[in-house]
Amino acid sequence: MIDIADLAARAYAPLLTIALVTGLAQAALSRDLVKRLLGAAIAAIAASAGLAALTRSDATLVGGATAASLVMLGGVALGLALLVRVREGFGGVDAGGLRLAEDADDRAERGE
Amino acid sequence: MNTLEFLWRHADAWLLFGPLVVGVVLTAAPAGRIANAIAATIACGVAALSVALVARLLGGATLASVDPLGAGAVAVGAVVAAAAGTAALALAPRDFPRRTRAIALGLGLVLIGAALGAMLERDLLRMVLLLQTATLAGAALTGLTLEQDRRAATAAFGAVIVALGAGAVALSGVALLHAASGASLDITQIAARIAAPGGASGAWLGAALLISALAAFAGLAPLHAGVASSASRVAPAFAPLVAILLRMAGFIALVRVFGATQAFAAAELAQAFAYGVAALGAVSLLAGGLQAIGATDARRLASHALTAQFGCALIGLAAGGDDGLIASLFVAAAGAMTALALIVGAAAARADGGASPMTTLDGLGQSHPFVAAAITISALGMTGAPLTASFLGKWLSIEAALARGWFWAAAAIVASSFAAVFVAGQIVERLYFRNRALAFKVAPRTAYALAPALAVAVLATVLFGWNATAPLDAARMAASARTGPAAP
């Protein structure tokens, strides 16, 4: 019979590593800002979980792991709020389209 | 115990919690008209305390809670914060409606407290969390200007992604270092553990992840595009905080972690970290120098120039020895002062706030001669011209690189100085040989209120270029607090 607890205890490191790497890759490479935020959030969750797992032997670090999770949640909330404002301001969240719109704003600012 | 002694013993807590707590209160309960005065008072108080701290440490006093590296870095950072605080007295009422203004000032104070705390902190987890907090506060500050400029929203979003992504990598590094060394998260204890034979097992990966993340927080190439966007989109009063203070905090944290990597028992591992950081420095030096040439915005230019200065500082740091570390800290501080003069000068060049395209500098020599003179000195500082503080810093960095036999690094520093000469030429041509666009108007009252910030930046650039005894003593004192042994 499979011992789920034992499996989880042995599998958390590769799982968290995969989540961290795929999340970061998504945050860096995706053209869609929603996917970028999702990727960054997944990476942050994986890192917070990894921190909690690797420091679980030291009870004094529980507060630190909790604070890391709270900062991550704050960052995701701020990102969501900004995403809404980007969509309102530009009418979309595609990175390529945003770059073109920003270039047009830059040119208008320089009077070209 | 008298009041001064109490302040002295708890200097680290005052520098961190003073701005942080007042900032949170101001953000949560906007204080209306007095918010400006509160923010300026706190920022100037923090600067006075940090300068007094350095003076006392130089006088031979000791303090358990603050090491000389943190004290020296905080003194430079707090001067930048005070410059932003006094500039905000004139600029914040222009850039924000009253309610938003108090929130912006509160976020500015949160950024100041978190960044200064990260410079002082020797506990790796707290250091990373403070850097994340400061970066998120900077993102929120940038986002507050999106009513005037929709591009602020994308710049702020980019900063959030950096805070989350770099924070995730940094936390992974911290966790690995803790697991591998078995020590607490204090950088000094970790350095001691990894110096023991076999201590490198797994710790090298944690240190590499942490240094990569701190490079992103410091805005080093190739991870520097976001910081330039934030610097150009945030309201002018807060640009020194986002473009300089925040990045300095990341840089000082990187200096601490790099110092620990030099303690690895395996010499080839320590060597690999030195080469890696030197390569990061060379890329930053060249990318920052070249991008400054093509910059179309004055604050973006200042940000790229600071990237190049940090690159030069990293080369000195990686070259090793006390001289290399002294060069590194001196270059970083000088770069901060030249960037401050350019950013504040650009803010004074426009009557109506908003972005600072290079055209705002046109004809400033006639309309604002003193501001133009300050920007000219800043431009000369960027090049590393003699009699500016940057000259000595670059000279020391080149010496450190040559002592290590790194001719390529010395060549990169010289090449970057030539690129900076080209940029300085562009700036001087705009200031003195072009006509001013009527659309920007003149802003005599604003320019007058920005005088303290400009004066501090220019005096630091010129006086410490003429006589560098005091900052060199402070840098030597800071070098004595390295977390690992000197590189060979």
Give the rounded percent of residues in chain A with a pLDDT score beyond 90: 46
3 state SS of B483: coil
- Report how far residue B299's alpha carbon sits from residue B228's, in angstroms, rounded to the nearest whole number: 8
Classify the phi-psi angles of B198: left when phi > 0, otherwise alpha if psi is within -120 to 50, otherwise beta. left
B184 to chain A: nearest residue by CA? A58
User: Taking Cα atoms as reference points, which of B371, B485, B368 lies closest to residue B436?
Assistant: B368
> pLDDT-based confidence at A56, cuts 50/70/90?
confident
C-beta atoms of A110 and B357 within 8 A: yes
- Report how far residue B2's alpha carbon sits from residue B432's, in angstroms, rounded to the nearest whole number: 54
Strands (E), B306-410: none
- Report how far residue B459's alpha carbon sits from residue B447's, in angstroms, rounded to the nearest whole number: 17
B226 to chain A: nearest residue by CA? A28
Supply the ipTM of this predicted assembly.
0.92
Distances in Å between the Cα of A28 and the Cα atoms of B166, B285, B293 are 11, 23, 26
Q: Which residues of chain A lie closer than 8 angstroms to B184, CB-CB?
A: 58, 60
pTM over 0.80: yes
Partner B contacted by A36 (CB < 8 A): yes
3 state SS of B186: strand
Fold type of domain A4-109: Helix Hairpins (1.10.287)
Residue with tokens 């222009």: B94
User: Taking Cα atoms as reference points, which of A105, A106, A104, A110 lies closest to residue B361?
Assistant: A110
Q: What integer pLDDT is reported at residue B488 of this predicted model? A: 44
B359 to chain A: nearest residue by CA? A110
CB B88 within 8 A of CB B108: yes
Long-range contacts: B462-468, Cβ < 8 Å, 24+?
B462/B377, B462/B387, B462/B388, B462/B389, B464/B334, B464/B389, B464/B392, B465/B381, B465/B386, B465/B387, B465/B388, B465/B389, B465/B390, B465/B391, B465/B392, B466/B387, B468/B330, B468/B389, B468/B392
Distance from CA of B82 to the nearest CA of A (A): 26
Instruction: Give the single-character DSSP code of B403.
Output: H
- Report how far residue B106's alpha carbon sits from residue B114's, in angstroms, rounded to the nearest whole number: 12
- For chain A, what is the total number of helices (H) and then of strands (E)? 4, 0
Q: Which residues of chain A lie closer than 8 angstroms to B175, CB-CB?
A: 47, 50-51, 53-55
B213 to chain A: nearest residue by CA? A24
- Report how far residue B484's alpha carbon sits from residue B421's, in angstroms, rounded to the nearest whole number: 36
Partner B contacted by A79 (CB < 8 A): yes
- Report how far residue B124's alpha carbon sits from residue B131's, in angstroms, rounded to the nearest whole number: 11
- Report how far residue B278's alpha carbon sits from residue A70's, in angstroms, rounded to the nearest whole number: 35
Determine what percent of chain A falls in helix, strand and coil, rounding each to the nearest 5.
85, 0, 15
CB A71 within 8 A of CB B135: no
C-beta atoms of B153 and A48 within 8 A: no
Cβ neighbourhood burial of B268 (10 Å; 0-12, 13-18, 19+) = exposed
C-beta atoms of A27 and B126 within 8 A: no
Partner B contacted by A49 (CB < 8 A): no
- Report how far residue B217's alpha carbon sits from residue B474's, in angstroms, rounded to the nearest whole number: 25
Query: What is the crossing angle of helices B68-95 and B469-479, to 10°?
Result: 120
Classify the phi-psi angles of B182: left when phi > 0, otherwise alpha if psi is within -120 to 50, otherwise beta. left
Partner B contacted by A46 (CB < 8 A): yes
Backbone torsions φ then ψ of B441, nearest 5 degrees = 55, -175
Chain A 53-72, residues with CB within 8 Å of chain B CB atoms:
53-55, 58, 60-61, 64, 67-68, 71-72
Cβ neighbourhood burial of B148 (10 Å; 0-12, 13-18, 19+) = middle
> Would the pLDDT of A108 be above 70?
yes
Determine what percent of chain B falls in helix, strand and coil, rounding each to the nearest 5.
80, 0, 20
Written as six digits, the tokens of B21 are: 């707590």
In this structure, the number of other CB atoms found within 10 A of the CB of residue B263 comes to 22
Distance from CA of B274 to the nearest CA of A (A): 25
Q: Which residues of chain B lie closer than 8 angstroms to A70, CB-CB?
A: none
Mean pLDDT of A54-83: 89
Q: What integer pLDDT is reported at residue A79 of this predicted model? A: 96
A59 to chain B: nearest residue by CA? B184
Q: Write the residue in B129, B167, B178 that is nearest to A55 by C-beta.
A: B178
Q: Write the residue in B125, B149, B164 that is nearest to A75 by C-beta.
A: B164
The pLDDT profile of chain B, 488 residues, written as one tens digit per residue, is 577 777 778 888 888 888 999 999 888 887 767 888 899 999 999 999 898 888 888 887 877 778 888 888 999 999 999 999 988 888 888 888 877 888 999 999 999 999 999 999 999 999 999 999 999 999 999 999 888 888 999 999 999 999 999 999 999 999 988 888 877 888 988 888 888 877 667 788 999 999 999 999 999 988 887 888 899 999 988 999 999 999 999 999 999 999 999 888 888 889 999 999 999 999 999 999 999 998 888 999 999 999 999 999 999 999 977 788 888 999 999 999 999 999 998 888 776 767 788 888 888 888 888 889 999 999 999 988 888 888 988 998 999 999 989 999 999 999 999 999 999 999 999 999 988 776 666 565 666 778 888 899 999 998 888 888 888 888 888 777 665 555 44
Give the best residue of B135, B150, B171 to mutate against chain A (max A CB count within 10 A): B171
Q: Write the residue in A40, A61, A102 that is nearest to B165 by C-beta.
A: A40
Distances in Å between the Cα of B384 and the Cα atoms of B77, B202, B305, B324, B428 are 21, 41, 11, 17, 16
